[in-house]
Amino acid sequence: GAVVSQHPSRVICKSGTSVKIECRSLDFQATTMFWYRQFPKQSLMLMATSNEGSKATYEQGVEKDKFLINHASLTLSTLTVTSAHPEDSSFYICSASRYSRGATYNEQFFGPGTRLTVL
């Protein structure tokens, strides 16, 4: 259990276009989903946290108008990179956590990532 998928796994787009990445929890309901960005040879940096049915919380320095996050259901969150530029090229990874009653910590389960290349 606790499988998270991402689609697409790889996308190449032209500068100025928008790209949507989907993150799905396949066998559980994810109350919270997270979006990370990983530049080459670097660690994962949290971009934003999204709770189903509410607005995402963005980390400092992440442009909310550029990286639109929608968490419309308990199994789906989307990240849209608007007006993408070459500097947005990166590996984007989502994770999802499920609510466990009485738990002091809700573990995150990670998707396989999406490689975005902006030409």
Partner 1 sequence: AQSVTQPDIHITVSEGASLELRCNYSYGATPYLFWYVQSPGQGLQLLLKYFSGDTLVQGIKGFEAEFKRSQSSFNLRKPSVHWSDAAEYFCAVGAGYQKVTFGIGTKLQVIP
User: Which residues of this protein are in contact with partner 1, per CB under 8 A?
Assistant: 6, 32, 34, 42-44, 46, 49, 91, 93, 95, 97, 105-108, 110-113, 115
Contacts of 8 by beta carbon, 8 Å cutoff, 6+ apart: 21, 114
Smallest distance from the beta carbon of 83 to partner 1, in angstroms? Answer: 26
Residue with Cβ nearer partner 1 (49 or 70): 49
Residue with Cβ nearer partner 1 (84 or 113): 113
What is the rounded CA–CA span in Å between residue 4 and residue 104? Answer: 22
Smallest distance from the beta carbon of 118 to partner 1, in angstroms? Answer: 17
Residue with Cβ nearer partner 1 (6 or 75): 6
What is the rounded CA–CA span in Å between residue 44 and residue 38? Answer: 5
Query: What single-letter amino acid sits at 46?
Result: L
Say if residues 3 and 75 touch (Cβ distance below 8 Å). no
Residue with Cβ nearer partner 1 (57 or 82): 57
Core vs surface per residue 84-101: b (16+ CB within 10 A) or e? beeebbbbbbbbbbbeee
Smallest distance from the beta carbon of 111 to partner 1, in angstroms? Answer: 6
Smallest distance from the beta carbon of 92 to partner 1, in angstroms? Answer: 10
